[in-house]
């Protein structure tokens, strides 16, 4: 069992200069706590995403850390030129000493894609072509590609990634079909969905993986949850109930201006998120029990926490991280070494 972090970098009341410095200090704490990787979302022209250029922010992360792996989850390919992204990926991997993890996607917000002059209806086709040619550019000395949206002939690839053939790849998954595609491509994946749905994704992934690779260890199959921890459960829940609606307002910001709704809606209150099993706030003991149940049901082997959201202060997030590392991580690691009934049959996760 390994642990990661997912981050939207959504706005709070701090001036931007102080906001970025506070988040970098928190990321330094993630490294000290022993997290495997820091995964960053990409959004544009919205308070849900103050890292619209993931590569720029991650270059700062590369300089402030030594062991922590990091990367975008995901680069929204319709708003990037693939040649520029190949070069940025190579630079980040080299600057970090080979700690980059990369994820590609079509972008979850049609409005943001339109801001960049792209047609959201073509986003899937653009993503498919761009992902293919980027991987080609990361592994070949000369790039040639002919597609519907991109055409390159004899482009010299001066840069190369440090990790060969390229950095590990990630995919956000919301369906069994997506999990099957991820398994065929050998991608790590993360689910934000229910534990029961995630179990169906992971079962499909493992079945496809075994058929292709036999007993070779599967990549990371992640489950992501909002997490707030304090010594007192009432305090943890009060903090989460205050901060989450701020995050939710940011999450829906562009849709409130332009209409439509997110591809993957979220309820408005933290208690509702807990009820559907996508968030937890409490003492280390209660958080450990909840997350262990979620892991048993989902059969995930990688737990991804979102410890900073809404108007959570740096001190509040640091407290969650410290308690998680000191008390929750060891409990979940110890449990992961024991056989579980969920290795045989799925179970129902308790609602909280």
What is the topology classification, in CATH, of domain 2-52+169-343?
TIM Barrel (3.20.20)
In this prediction, residue 338 carries a pLDDT of 72
Which two structure tokens, joined as six digits, stand for 270? 């933290």
Q: How confident is the model at residue 346 (pLDDT cuts 50, 70, 90)?
A: very low
Confidence of residue 339 (pLDDT cuts 50, 70, 90): low
Q: Would you call 9 helix, strand, or coil by DSSP?
A: coil
Q: Is the peptide bond before 74 cis (omega within 30 degrees of 0)?
A: yes
DSSP-assigned letter for residue 325: I
Which secondary structure element, helix H or strand E, spans residue 173, and what is its range? strand 169-173
Q: Where are the domains of the chain?
A: 2-52+169-343, 74-168
pTM of the prediction? 0.94
pLDDT for 16-66, tens place per residue? 999 999 999 999 999 999 999 999 999 999 999 999 999 999 999 999 999
Q: Which of 81, 75, 99, 89 is nearest to 160 (CA)?
A: 89
Q: How far is CA 247 from the centre of its chain?
A: 16
Alpha helices in 157-283 (DSSP H): 176-185, 195-213, 233-251, 253-258, 270-275
pLDDT tens, residue by residue, 92-147: 999 999 999 999 999 889 999 999 999 999 999 999 999 999 999 999 999 999 99
């Amino acid at each position: 069992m390994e642990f990661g972090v997912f981050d939207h970098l959504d706005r709070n009341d701090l001036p931007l200069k102080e906001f970025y410095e506070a988040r970098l200090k928190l990321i330094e704490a993630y490294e000290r706590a022993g997290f495997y990787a820091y995964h960053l979302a990409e959004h544009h022209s919205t308070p849900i995403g103050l890292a619209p250029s993931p590569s720029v922010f991650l270059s700062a992360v590369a300089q402030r850390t030594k062991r922590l792996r990091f990367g975008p989850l995901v680069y929204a390919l319709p708003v990037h030129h693939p040649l520029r992204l190949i070069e940025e990926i190579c630079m980040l991997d080299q600057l970090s000493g080979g700690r980059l993890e990369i994820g590609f996607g079509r972008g979850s917000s049609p409005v943001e894609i339109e801001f960049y002059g792209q047609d959201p209806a073509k986003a899937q086709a653009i993503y498919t072509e761009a992902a293919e040619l980027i991987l080609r550019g990361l592994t070949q000395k000369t790039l040639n590609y002919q597609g519907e949206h991109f055409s390159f002939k004899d482009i010299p690839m001066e840069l190369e990634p440090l990790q060969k053939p390229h950095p590990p790849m990630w995919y956000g998954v919301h369906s069994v079909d997506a999990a099957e595609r991820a398994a065929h491509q050998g991608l790590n994946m993360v689910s934000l969905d229910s534990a029961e749905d995630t179990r169906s994704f992971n079962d499909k992934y493992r079945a496809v993986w075994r058929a292709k690779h036999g007993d070779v260890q599967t990549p990371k199959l992640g489950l992501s949850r909002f997490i707030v921890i304090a010594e007192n459960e009432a305090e943890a829940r009060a903090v989460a109930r205050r901060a989450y609606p701020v995050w939710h307002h940011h999450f829906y910001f562009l849709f409130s201006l332009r209409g439509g709704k997110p591809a993957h809606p979220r309820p408005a209150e933290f208690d509702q998120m807990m009820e559907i099993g996508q968030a937890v706030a409490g003492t280390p003991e209660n958080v450990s029990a909840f997350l262990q149940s979620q892991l048993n049901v989902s059969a995930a082997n990688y737990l991804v926490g979102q410890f900073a959201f809404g108007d959570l202060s740096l001190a509040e997030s640091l407290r969650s991280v410290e308690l998680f590392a000191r008390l929750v991580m060891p409990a979940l690691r110890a449990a992961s070494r024991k056989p579980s009934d969920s290795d045989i049959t799925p179970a129902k996760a308790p609602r909280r």
